[in-house]
Chains A and B, each alone.
Chain A
Amino acid sequence: MLTIKDLHARVEEKTIIKGLNLEIKPGEVHAIMGPNGAGKSTLGYVLSGRDGYEVEQGEVNFNGANLLDMEVEERAQAGLFLAFQYPVEIPGVSNMEFMKESVNAMRKARGEDELSSAEFLKMAKEACKQVNLPLDFLKRGVNEGFSGGEKKRNEIMQLIMLKPKLAILDESDSGLDVDALQVVANGVNSQRDGERSFIVVTHYQRLLDFIEPDYVHILAQGKIVKSGGPELAKEVEASGYAWLGQADEGEKA
């Protein structure tokens, strides 16, 4: 699915990712944990192709294609999805038109027919229900005036509707209470079908109680310093990140 070899990347003048290696096979769920400033969010931005995130060296292969050669929208159309930690508000574009464009762009890329308005609406209603968002939210501006929890659920709703091959969840748990966390986790788990892969980026172990990973990696100072099974997350929970030899600054706003 995804092979990252010796990835180095920088933001502006600062190198954040310093020699990262990762191999993800179809259907696997990988958790990436680490202290703040380790490069967790940067990894998602680099893989999605965000402007200003420059790859200095290394290779990323996504289902046989060189991911780093592709435009942002091409990566998405190829099946890469990034659920944002802080999704942007776009007041003048309605969720409805945004999601319809997006779903149809993905369908087109997969060689499927575009959905009619009625078909789309049916699908959107079901997805809304699944993540517990009221229907009238479809008419509102993208993320406009949403609470932090609603924004996270909107990201998961998009994941459900877009059906990517690989989904990267960037701190999808931050700022959520237990109920909202469960909604997000259930949404994600409903998409685990043995084929779709996930990278779950999180600071805390708590999300991994609900989304059980196959592998856990600890990211620190731009590279993976330790890998293991779900038990590794429990160790982090018990001892924090202090053993990495650097202070954990705690969750930043």
Chain B
Amino acid sequence: MSQWLAHVIERAAAVDDWLSPVRAEALAKLKEQSWPGRRTEAWRYTSLHAVENLSLPTESNAQAEAPAIKGLDAIDLVFVDGRLTSDLAALNLPEGLTIRSLTDKSDIAEQVFTQVKPSHHLFGLVNDVLATQGIVIEVAANATIERPIRVVNFATDNVESHTRVLVSLGDNAKATVIEHGSGTGHSLNTAFAEYDIADNARLEHYRFALHQGEAIHVGGSHFKLANKSRLNSTLIGYGSQLTRLDVDIIHAGEHAHAKFNNAYLLAPKEHFDLHSTIEHAMPNGTTEENARGIIGDKAKAVFNGRIHIHRDAQKTLAELNNRNLLLSRGAQINTKPELEIYADDVQCAHGATVAEIDEEALYYLLTRGIDKQKALVMLNFGFVQEMVFDMPNEALAEWLQPILKQRFEDMMERS
């Protein structure tokens, strides 16, 4: 048993708010969980040694401003070390959009909290019992919210924090939500988000997990898709001391479409672990997932991509592709595709590779006078940059591209 988890369970008993009955159920499940070791499948390649006996203060007085992104014009909601620092009453919200604190009782929060996220995620349960601070975003039926909604989540130094995001999109609603997390100090942050997407609704989603250095970040984004709804999600991750993300996309209605692009760039010695699970429970759904990783010297990436097609999910079309580029012999990737298909009339493709340079593309760049070394850098980075170009929001793509390029160039130098 980990001292940290024992302490979590102790602290959970003291949490008392309107969600207490639901938290109590989560706590009961948490108590049944054993501390993951090497034989625990979901944690096979990621050691929790750094968390096991961790003891950090649970409060800070730190202040921070949301990083400006040119041309984004987002509705910003800021958490610093788990504290919501934005004044919700001061927000000038468009019609059809309601934003509440999780501390305020609401039907929407009740409908979404713990209802989308599967209960087997250990840190998800920790978040269930300890995340008293959170944000509840409700987009009314038929509303189209043009301005992106950005939830900024800072972890500073020497602090443990837990934040929660709940999002409900009504029928035919349309919105963009950005989960923007970062932190460099010695901290532990869990950040889980649940998205309940109703019939014909469209969600454009981004998760930036830009934690570095000593930060420990464990979180998840979980989506439930109703009939004919559409999800376009992009996840960009660094490694940090330990970053672990779980993404679940659940096709709970028919004819839903999910696109999930993700890219991870690991500087030397960083650790990044992404587990994605696509559940096709209903017929005629489509999923397209592209995962791309560039891994620096002595860094370790874990990618586990599971597609589960239930018996009733006929005519499902699901594709998952994972490509990785190792920058040195000391870089490591553990990639595991998992396909479970119980329906007989489906199309499913799944692949994981360690990338090689496209010789024809290299030749093309060389015939344009570009030096071989530079051409290789362009092609290697291009492999991840493709995910950035594919982001529908141009302001985000233009902000992110130079940041990732700089990180990549630093990685090349150090590998």
Interface residues of A (CB under 8 A from B): 48, 50-51, 71-73, 75-77, 81-82, 84, 87-88, 90-94, 97-98, 101-102, 105-106, 109, 140-142, 158, 162
Closest chain B residue, CB of each to CB of A76 = B369
Once bound together, how far apart are the Cα atoms of A87 and B370, in whole Å?
A: 16
In whole angstroms, what is the CA distance A141 to B361 when docked? 12
Contacts of B369 in A (CB 8 A): 73, 76-77, 102, 105-106, 109, 162
Q: Is B368 an interface residue (CB 8 A)?
A: yes
User: Can you list 20 A-B pairs with a CB-CB distance of less than 8 A?
Assistant: A51-B359, A71-B366, A71-B372, A72-B366, A73-B367, A73-B370, A76-B368, A88-B358, A88-B361, A88-B363, A92-B383, A92-B386, A92-B389, A93-B365, A94-B385, A97-B378, A101-B365, A102-B369, A102-B370, A141-B386
Contact call B364/A102, Cβ cutoff below 8 A: no
Lowest 5 A-B CB distances belong to which pairs? A92-B382, A92-B386, A76-B369, A72-B366, A102-B368
Contact B366 A76 (CB under 8 A): yes
Let me know if B32 is at the binding interface, CB within 8 A.
Answer: no
Say whether B45 faces chain A, with CB atoms less than 8 Å apart: no
Q: Given A72-B363, A98-B378, A101-B378, are A92 and B368 also a contact pair (CB < 8 Å)?
A: no
Q: How far is the CA of A102 from the CA of B378 in the complex (A)?
A: 12
In the assembled complex, B24 has its CB within 8 A of some CB on chain A: no
A183 to chain B, nearest CB (A): 21
**In the bound complex, how far is the Cα of B381 from the Cα of A97, in angstroms?**
12
Q: Indicate if the CB atoms of A72 and B379 lie closer than 8 Å.
A: no
Q: Is the CB of B382 within 8 A of A93?
A: yes
Give the CA-CA distance A87 to B360 in the complex, in Å.
9
Interface pair B364/A88, CB less than 8 Å apart: yes
Known: A88-B360, A141-B386. A93 touches B378 (CB 8 A): yes
- A87 to B363, alpha carbons, bound, how many Å? 11
Interchain CB contact under 8 A, A91 and B367:
no
Chain A CB count within 10 A is highest, among B358, B368, B382, for B368
Q: B291 contacts the other chain (Cβ, under 8 Å)? A: no
**In the complex, A13→B371 CA distance in Å?**
29
Residues of A near B365 (CB, < 8 A) are 90, 93, 98, 101-102
- The CA of A98 and the CA of B374, in the complex, are separated in Å by 10
A-B contacts besides A50-B363, A90-B365, A101-B378, 18 pairs, CB < 8 Å: A75-B367, A76-B366, A76-B369, A82-B367, A90-B361, A91-B386, A91-B389, A92-B385, A92-B389, A93-B385, A94-B389, A97-B378, A101-B365, A101-B370, A102-B369, A105-B368, A105-B371, A140-B389
B258 at the interface (CB under 8 A from A): no
Return B392 CB to nearest CB of chain A, in Å: 14
Residues of B364-414 whose CB lies within 8 A of A: 364-372, 374-375, 378-379, 381-386, 389
| CB pair A105 B370 closer than 8 Å | yes
A92 x B379 contact (CB < 8 A): yes
**CB-based contact A162/B368 at 8 Å:** yes
Q: How far is the CA of A105 from the CA of B370 in the complex (A)?
A: 6
Distance to closest chain B CB from A62 (angstroms): 14
For B361, list chain A residues within 8 Å (CB). 88, 90, 93
User: Complex formed: what's the CA distance from A48 to B40 in Å?
Assistant: 55
CB proximity of B408 to chain A, nearest CB, Å: 11
Interface size class of B (residues with CB under 8 A): 20 to 34
Q: Is the CB of A48 within 8 A of B367?
A: yes
> How far, in Å, is A246 (CB) from chain B's closest CB?
30
* B384 adjacent to A90 (CB under 8 Å): no
A51 engages B363 (CB within 8 Å): yes
> How long is the Cα–Cα vector from A142 to B366 in the complex, in angstroms?
14
Contact pick for B364, options A75, A87, A109, A141, CB 8 Å = A87
Bound Cα distance from A176 to B316, whole angstroms: 39
Given the complex of chains A and B, what is the CA–CA distance between A75 and B359 in angstroms?
18
User: A93 to chain B: which residues have CB within 8 Å?
Assistant: 361, 365, 378-379, 382, 385
A87–B372 alpha-carbon span in the complex (Å): 19
Find the A residue at minimum CB distance from B385. A92
CA distance in complex: A102, B381 (Å): 17
B residues 218-240 with Cβ under 8 Å of A?
Answer: none
Taking CB atoms, residues of chain A closer than 8 Å to B389 are 91-92, 94, 140-141
A141's closest neighbor in chain B, by CB?
A: B389
Closest residue of chain B to A90, judged by CB?
Answer: B361
How many angstroms between the C-alpha atoms of A95 and B382 in the bound complex? 12
In the bound complex, residues from chain A placing their C-beta under 8 Å from that of B383 are: 92
Q: Which residues of B contact A142 (CB under 8 A)?
A: 364
Note all chain A residues with C-beta closer than 8 A to B368.
Answer: 76, 98, 101-102, 105, 158, 162
Which chain B residues border A48 with CB–CB below 8 Å? 367
Within the complex, what minimum Cβ distance (angstroms) separates A114 from chain B? 13
A76 in contact with B379 (CB, 8 Å): no
Q: Report the Cα distance A102→B365, complex, angstroms.
A: 8
B371 adjacent to A73 (CB under 8 Å): yes
Q: How far does the alpha carbon of A77 sit from the alpha carbon of B369 in the complex, in Å? A: 5
A82 to B368, CA, bound (A): 9
Smallest Cβ-Cβ distance to B381: which chain A residue: A92
Residues of A within 8 A of B385 (CB): 92-94
Q: Is the CB of A90 within 8 A of B379?
A: yes
Q: Which residue of A lies closest to B405 (CB)?
A: A97
A163 to chain B, nearest CB (A): 11
Q: Smallest CB-CB separation from B383: which chain A residue?
A: A92
Note all chain B residues with C-beta closer than 8 A to A94. Answer: 385, 389
Residues of chain B within 8 A (CB-CB) of A73 are 366-367, 369-372, 375
User: Mask for B147-191, Cβ within 8 A of A = 1, else 0?
Assistant: 000000000000000000000000000000000000000000000
Complex CA–CA separation, A50 to B368 (angstroms):
12
Q: Nearest Cβ in chain B — how far from A92, in angstroms?
A: 3
Q: A90-B379, A92-B389, A141-B386 are in contact. Are A76 and B359 (CB under 8 A)?
A: no
Complex Cα distance A76/B366, Å?
8
Q: What residues on A are CB-neighbors of B363 within 8 Å? A: 50-51, 72, 88
Query: For residue B381, which residues in chain A have a CB less than 8 angstroms away from its CB?
Result: 92
Residues of B within 8 A of A91 (CB): 382, 386, 389
